[in-house]
Every structure is written in structure tokens, then in C-alpha cells.
Amino acid sequence: MKPELYSRYHEVYDRFSSVKLFPIFITFCQKVHQNASRNTTAITDVGAGTGLFTSLLAGQFSGAKISLIEPSEYMMPYARARLSESKIDFYESSLEQTLMQIQTQDIFIFQRSLYALSGDIGYYKRLANQLSEKISENGLVGIFEIGQLYDIPIMREYFQSNRKVLRLSENEFEKQWLIFEQALKDFNHGAESGDYMLFNKDNLNEIFSHKFSLIDGDNRNIFIYRKKTG
């Protein structure tokens, strides 16, 4: 996502990611938890934004140390404020930089963040190798991504019909929607231009199958990979 978009996106990120409107976010965290080892002690949430979903992870894995990676200077203050009382290590740096600093992890989480790292599948294959070196035996990579372009008019209609859930007046909705809409347009443009990657089961398996096995996945673009042994 373009840096200038982050300067406003943090203002609406939480509201337009409402788990009341999108319970799939909770489903994703539950699937990660169901497949994780009982001895999970270290989790990295990559591109965590305001920490909204990191807080869900912290609730599911109350005994684990979580590393939160968010390179945006606009998002990070929100994440720190939300999670100040939790066992969180904050990294305001890129994934590549953070991988050189953190210790072995049990789980890596990519929730709507993997797409923005590159538009090159070769990059992701190299990343899979790097993750396998930083992940514990039988460790997990949890991925929830968008597999298609956003239908912006339909999304606008859905959010507008749920303004009461969002606790927005009509005027407030119009103002905040413009910020969110720009982020959606950036995603679509980035995917169409090849700057961002759209993921599905086939290309994710191409990326991860050498080092990881797909153990859970569905048609809503939730995928859980486990590190292969041996």
C-alpha cells in the first residue's frame, strides 16, 4: 500500500474491519488456534496494522509471546496503545529486517498483508524458505488473503446498509468511506499492475509446498500450512 494512503487509512481501519460484519476474521484466528501446538510460545503477526487482529490472537494464545510487525509509522501508535498491556514485541520495520532480529517462532500470521510484499512469485518462494528457517518443528504459517479484486460498488452498498453496526451517521459514513475506498482502489490497481499478488490455493501451494504442507484451507481463502519434518 502506498505510504500516503497509510496516513489516512489508520483512521478507518478498525471500523471497516468490523468482526460483526466479517466474522471470518474470528474464524481465521480459531482455525490457527485449532491447528497449533499446545506448546505454542512465539507468534509473529506480519503487517498487523492497528493491532486489531493481533488482539484476537493474544486472546486465543494467552501464554504466547507475540511479535507484531508493522512498518507504517501511522498504524504503529494505534497498535501500541491497544496492546500496551499485552506480551507484545513491536517491530516498526520490514518483514525482512525483522526476520534477522527475532528468534525461532511457532506461528507466522499473514492476515491481508502477504499480498503487498511483492508481485513476484519468485520473491514468495524465497520468503517461504526464509520462514521455514525461522519456524519451529511442526510450526504453522496462517494466511488469510483476498483472492480477487474488490467489487467496490457492492462493498459500498454492504457497508452503507450496515451503518448502524459501524455506528456512523450518513455524513460520517460518506467521509470515512472515501478514505477506505481509496485503499480498495489501491489494492485493485496494485493487483492489476502486478505490484501486488492475488492468492489462491494453486499459487500458494506452488510457493509453500516445498517446505510446508497444507493442512487446512477452504474456499474463503483461509490457508494453514505446517512445516514439513525431515
Q: Give per-residue pLDDT as tens, 46-70.
A: 999 999 999 999 999 988 999 999 9
pLDDT band, residue 193 (cuts 50/70/90): very high
Question: 224 forms bridges with which residues in the sheet?
Answer: 142, 216
pTM tops 0.85: yes
Q: Give per-residue pLDDT as tens, 78-121.
A: 999 999 877 899 999 999 999 999 999 999 999 999 999 999 99
- Sign of the CA dihedral with 165 first, then 171, 175, and 177 last: positive
User: At the topology level of CATH, where does 3-149+189-227 sit?
Assistant: Rossmann fold (3.40.50)
Classify residue 111 by burial, with Cβ atoms within 10 Å: 0-12, 13-18, 19+.
buried
Closest CA to 173 of 150, 186, 156, 188: 156
**Span 122-128, mean pLDDT?**
97
CB 183 within 8 A of CB 1: yes
Domain boundaries, the chain: 3-149+189-227
